[in-house]
Amino acid sequence: MAGTVASATPARAGTRAVVRPPALVPGDRVRVIAPAGVPDTRLARGIQILEGFGLVVEAGAHLYDRYGYLAGTDADRLADLNAAFRDPGVRGVFAARGGYGTQRIIDRLDLAAVRRDPRVFVGFSDLTVLSGRLWTAARLVSFYGPMVNWTDTRTGPTEIESLRKAIMTMDPIVLTSDPAEPSAAVSVPGTATGTLLGGNLTMLQAGVGTRDLPDLHRAILLLEDTDESAYSYDRMLTHLTRSGALRGIAGVAIGQFTNAPVVSGQWTAAQAVQDRLATLGVPVLGGLRIGHGNGQLTVPLGARATIDTTTATLTVAPGVAPRS
């Protein structure tokens, strides 16, 4: 039986009130929605995993719609998004998949509903804009982790447990840099502590000048991306730097560089990123299994985090609050 829903626990981060949603417990209703691209048959496996946590999984009304490359019209995807955050019985919202499309509806998110009754949200990639908006508008911690369109060859038992612990327990999250990850080559020595914010680099750059991009002052910036060449990483980080978005950051945590082309005689993605970030004068830790690659782990965005290049670890405080 589900426990009583607790009010989200506020904490202080500088002058800002951080809101941790109540931890999910077996018996909770959760809803799967598709704010961006169209899910496929892999969705059944993701739903099975959530049900394995003891959660009662509901499908958004338009979850299986299709409108071009989008999972339904803007109006219908927005309706599912807002319905999930308005229903007091829904304690968690899970994105079916990424792709593209969240930007088209994010400005009409019902922020009053988000603030009135905070709950768990899980997504990554294109959903970076939604996590960013939940933070900038409500200081709500969200979870950067696998979406319900699940692939066991990419995310296996370890990754399932990482997701469960992040959204259902008060355990701190500790990730260790994996030397096998291409981004492990990116490193600037040191230790730094701050609020973990960020996500997909392409979406962060696209957020410049919008209400989706968080204020990164004193933050640990999380970056990852897929299918981008070395010069694209360079271009996006250069744009973020020139825009002033990276001014005053405390450090950088680098996730996965998935499917980055390697061209003989040219920089790799890691070399391009090293060149750009080394000039910021802050600690940088690469090799974290966060993003589009195999072994994707879950981390809370908006929680307090520390990177330590000596121990090669990212340590993040729990993203959920205890249930009463």
Residue 221 bridge partners (DSSP): 197, 252
- pLDDT of 123 above 70: yes
CA distances from 154 to 32, 68, 142, 147, 225 (A): 20, 27, 22, 12, 16
State percent of the chain over pLDDT 70: 95
Q: Is 159 a catalytic residue?
A: no
- pLDDT of 289 above 80: yes
Q: Which of the following is catalytic: 62, 125, 159, 162?
A: 125
Structure tokens at 100: 């593209």
pLDDT digits over 27-85, tens only? 999 999 999 999 999 999 999 999 999 999 999 999 999 999 999 999 999 999 999 99
User: Shortest CA distance to 10 belongs to which of 307, 306, 316, 302?
Assistant: 302
How many CA atoms are closer than 13 Å to the CA of 107, on its beta-carbon side? Answer: 5
Is 8 or 82 the better-scoring residue by pLDDT?
82
Mean pLDDT, rounded, for 95-121:
98
Residue 31 phi/psi, 5-degree rounding, is -125, 140
Q: Across the chain, what does the average pLDDT equal?
A: 95
pLDDT of residue 15: 52
User: Shortest CA distance to 6 belongs to which of 32, 25, 30, 27?
Assistant: 25
- pLDDT of 164 above 60: yes
d(CA 303, CA 160): 20
pLDDT of residue 324: 73
User: Shortest CA distance to 270 belongs to which of 260, 282, 280, 283?
Assistant: 260
- pLDDT of 310 above 70: yes
- pLDDT of 11 above 70: no
Three-state DSSP at 191 gives strand
User: Shortest CA distance to 269 belongs to which of 253, 280, 285, 258?
Assistant: 258
Mean pLDDT, rounded, for 244-251:
98
Orientation of helix 269-277 relative to helix 230-243, angle to 10°: 20
Mean pLDDT, rounded, for 272-278:
98
Mean pLDDT, rounded, for 314-322:
98
- pLDDT of 6 above 80: no
Q: Is 292 a catalytic residue?
A: yes
Please classify residue 12 by burial: count the beta carbons closer than 10 Å to its beta carbon, then call 0-12 exposed, 13-18 middle and 19+ buried.
exposed
Structure tokens at 52: 């394995």
State percent of the chain over pLDDT 90: 94
d(CA 160, CA 181): 20
Q: Which of the following is catalytic: 159, 181, 224, 228?
A: 224
Confidence of residue 110 (pLDDT cuts 50, 70, 90): very high
- pLDDT of 10 above 50: no
pLDDT digits over 194-244, tens only? 999 999 999 999 999 999 999 999 999 999 999 999 999 999 999 999 999
